Amino acid sequence: MNKISYLNWRTYFNPQTIYSVGEDLILLDNQLMESPRYPFKTDMLTATICIKGRAEGSANLQKITTLPNSFNVILPGQIITHDYQTPDFEARHIIMSSKFVNTLGLDNRFSLFHSHNQVISTILSDYELEAILTFYEMLKWNITHKNDYILDTVRHMTLAFFYGFSHTFQQNISTQKPTNRPQQLSDDFLSLVKKHFRQEHSLDFYANKLCVTPKHLTTTIKSTTDSTAKEWIDKHLLLEAKALLKSTNLNIQQIADTLHFTSQDVFSKYFKHHIGITPKEYRHNS
């Protein structure tokens, strides 16, 4: 299989508002010029600092509402939808490649990188907002006044930032912990689905992993979420399929293999049953 190429997200931004160190670290002033009208997959970490206005979207089916003074971090490998933003929406975006993130070693230090939600959204105090915007402007200054050590400079600055705000991230993660057994089972199930849905499509697999019967799992998930357990598996499969069709160069057979369908034909029938059109038609739809 050829190397997977992802959506060229740069085409959705005004190039005059981009400040970057190669593909490792990118800063974006203000807002999206336009955005894909379909789920797209990214291999970048995205941090958004909202100054005013409102935007709505999702990452791996987790709804994200961006409000003034909010700070959102979306980890690499998520499937993103950008659904809506107000005309006055203003934000600063910090985008880091997976390669750059890996050089920081953050997954060994911070709970954020072990959160099953893979998205952290927190409301900042005015002081915290000012501090993050100062960090953003310092990054921008260093990028526009390049030196021979620019990559090392922004790497150490970024590490210092995560250390400085680790307490804020940890507080946010702590407030997301479930408070009862049904919610704990639901969270454990959704975490397992996010990890295994490409390989495991059967409800029995998840019930066995959680040491409950499929009937009990179905009843609990339906009572704590808006969907059944099987519907959650299908949601993740279909979202992944849509993102791979629209934002990668994989052919349909390769996508069927990636999602562990027994054949391209089985995958195409499954996709058409749920979406109403074939994978090929979806790929070429505008």
For residue 86, give the CATH number of its domain.
Answer: 2.60.120.10
Residue 38 lies in a domain: yes
Residue 60 lies in a domain: yes
Residue 4 lies in a domain: no
Same domain (yes/no): 91, 189: no
How much is the pLDDT for 1? 47
Higher pLDDT, 209 or 6: 209
Q: Are strands 25-29 and 62-66 parallel, antiparallel or unpaired?
A: unpaired
Max mean pLDDT range (29-33, 56-60, 166-170)? 56-60
Same domain (yes/no): 19, 142: yes
Residue 2 lies in a domain: no
Residue span of the structural domain in which 229 resides:
181-284
Tokens matching residue 184: 């704990």
Query: Where is the domain boundary, 109, 140, 175?
Result: 175
Tell me the mean pLDDT in the region 68-83: 85
Same domain (yes/no): 30, 113: yes
Same domain (yes/no): 124, 226: no
Same domain (yes/no): 134, 23: yes
- pLDDT band for position 198 (50/70/90)? very high
Query: Where is the domain boundary, 142, 158, 175?
Result: 175
- Give the CA distances from residue 217 to residues 179, 184, 223, 232, in Å, rounded to whole numbers and listed in that order: 18, 12, 10, 12
Same domain (yes/no): 45, 60: yes
Query: Where is the domain boundary, 175, 199, 221?
Result: 175
Tell me the mean pLDDT in the region 164-182: 65
**How many domains does the chain fold into?**
2
Residue 1 lies in a domain: no
pLDDT > 90: percent of the chain: 43
Residue 248 lies in a domain: yes
Same domain (yes/no): 36, 161: yes
